[in-house]
Chains A and B, each alone.
Chain A
Amino acid sequence: MMSCAVAVRDLRVERGRRQVLHGVSFEVPRGSVLGLIGPSGCGKTTLMRAVVGVQTVAGGTVTVLGEPAGGPGLRTKVGYSTQSPAVYDDLTVTENLAYFAAVLGAPKTDVARVVAEVGLEDAAGQTARTLSGGQKSRASLAVALLGAPELLVLDEPTVGLDPVLRNELWGLFHRLAAGRGVTLMVSSHVMDEASRCDRLLLMREGEILADDSPGTLRDRTGAADLEAAFLRLIADREAVSDR
């Protein structure tokens, strides 16, 4: 059994002539929750797409569960939820899930399970078009939970949710990691969510500023909270580059 679910080495991604990831390297241990934190446009989504294997990359390697990212063997093992909900607007929540379950070869009973896991029981018969923003993003998240993924790549899964629901989902993420040994990569720009991750990647402008546990980050920077720690890291980095 490998200890690493994801290993990224010197990953470079270009969009047009602009480089959006400048040689990023990191590893994610199995069964852990990794938080990707950073401002909008810092490359979080690009990095996640590269791990899922849907991003054209310019260089470097991405190894997922021992295989090159996006390999045929990974397609039932990696659950992916995009930032904007990717569900069919004109299907009900249940119909959406039933279709994706069929594509993944997941049992039909999975539909009811994931609906319950994201707390959408009351809206299961509604077409996705009529859902609120938060409900729709939960429907999209539910698709990623179908089957038995070993790695979940979730791009801003809690955006637009109230604190109670957010708390419930983070509870679910930790149950998946602790109970089923699932590895999670979760992006967010909310700092209080960052403290719930086992490890954090702080990203800015296509680079990783820090790769540590939330506690170590606070200690290292001497900051009271993660927001302050993040600001201090940026200030340090700029001081170095100005010199």
Chain B
Amino acid sequence: MSSAQITLATAKRILTQLRHDHRTVALMVLVPTLVMILLYYVIGDQGSFDAWTPVLLCVFPFLVMFLVTSIATLRERTTGTLERLMASPLGKLDLLLGYGLAFGLMAVVQVALVLSVSLTWLGFGLGAPLWPLVVVALCNALLGTALGLLCSAFARTEFQAVQFMPVVMIPQLLLGGILVPRDQMAPVLEWISNVLPMSYAIEAMKLAAAAGAEGDFWRDVAVVAGSAVLALVLGAATLRRRTP
């Protein structure tokens, strides 16, 4: 059995697990859309809503994939299925890519729904092509998956795994240029902001919403995708065939 076939079998297995868990699927797919609708009515002003939409499109795929992946891989570690897989021909990257593929697919569904509701019902004024937004959202979902895998290695329990979410998420949001533009931050904070992948994701999403794949768009996307690959490689290093 080739590595690609094992990866596909793993992705299929994860999707089958999700199929048995309707509530999780409903939460993954519906919550971002419901929050977007809530945001629309809270803001009540189309101009501000149009400015906030790209930010939420950035945050949600990342957040949901981070949480779901870190809990799912932690379960693999604690129930012994990971040990079983580490004694099998499955390669570490097969497992990680299987997760990336399965949850990436979920991210597509999630983003498709939230975008179609935003563009129709909520009248999100997009003055550019749609596909650059989808590209950024997907890269961001993969980044969430990869970081979730990595962080799950440092959690012993599901309680700890959930607590990693604010640790990873909130500094990236505060320093990502949402509340205060990045060039107006204190220099130290701007430096930190420069090395956080979410800063680039948010910038790419704003560019995509304003003008499509123009300016620094591809550089930003490359940074996000590169960070996802780096996190996957680091995540693979935390999977050990032999454990104490």
Contacts and interface: CB of A to CB of B under 8 A. Distances in A.
Given A104-B89, A105-B1, A90 B20 contact: yes
A91 B16 contact: yes
A88 B81 CA distance: 7
Given A53-B241, A56-B243, A91-B20, A103 B1 contact: yes
Contact of A88 (B5, B13, B89, B241): B13
A82 B83 CA distance: 9
Given A72-B89, A91-B16, A100-B88, 4 more contacts: A99-B12, A102-B1, A102-B9, A103-B85
Nearest to A14: B244
A127 interface: yes
A75 B81 CA distance: 15
Contacts of A99: 9-10, 12-13, 16
Interface in A35-58: 52-57
B135 to A, nearest CB: 31
B219 interface: no
Contacts of A104: 1, 88-89
Size class of the contact patch on chain B: 20 to 34
B45 interface: no
A9 interface: no
Contacts of A143: 84
A55 B243 contact: yes
A65 B241 CA distance: 19
A86 B80 contact: yes
A16 to B, nearest CB: 8
A86 B77 CA distance: 10
A103 B6 contact: yes
A127 B20 contact: yes
A19 B244 CA distance: 12
B244 A15 contact: yes
B74 to A, nearest CB: 14
Interface of B: 1, 5-6, 9-10, 12-13, 16-17, 20-21, 79-81, 83-90, 241-244
A103 B90 contact: yes
Nearest to B244: A56
A187 B244 CA distance: 20
Contacts of B81: 86-88
Contacts of B5: 102
A54 B80 CA distance: 11
A206 to B, nearest CB: 15
Nearest to B6: A103
A206 B244 CA distance: 15
Contact of A103 (B9, B21, B83): B9
A88 B17 contact: yes
Contacts of B1: 102-105
Given A56-B243, A99-B13, A80 B20 contact: no
A220 B215 CA distance: 85
Closest 4 CB pairs of A and B: A86-B80, A105-B1, A102-B9, A99-B13
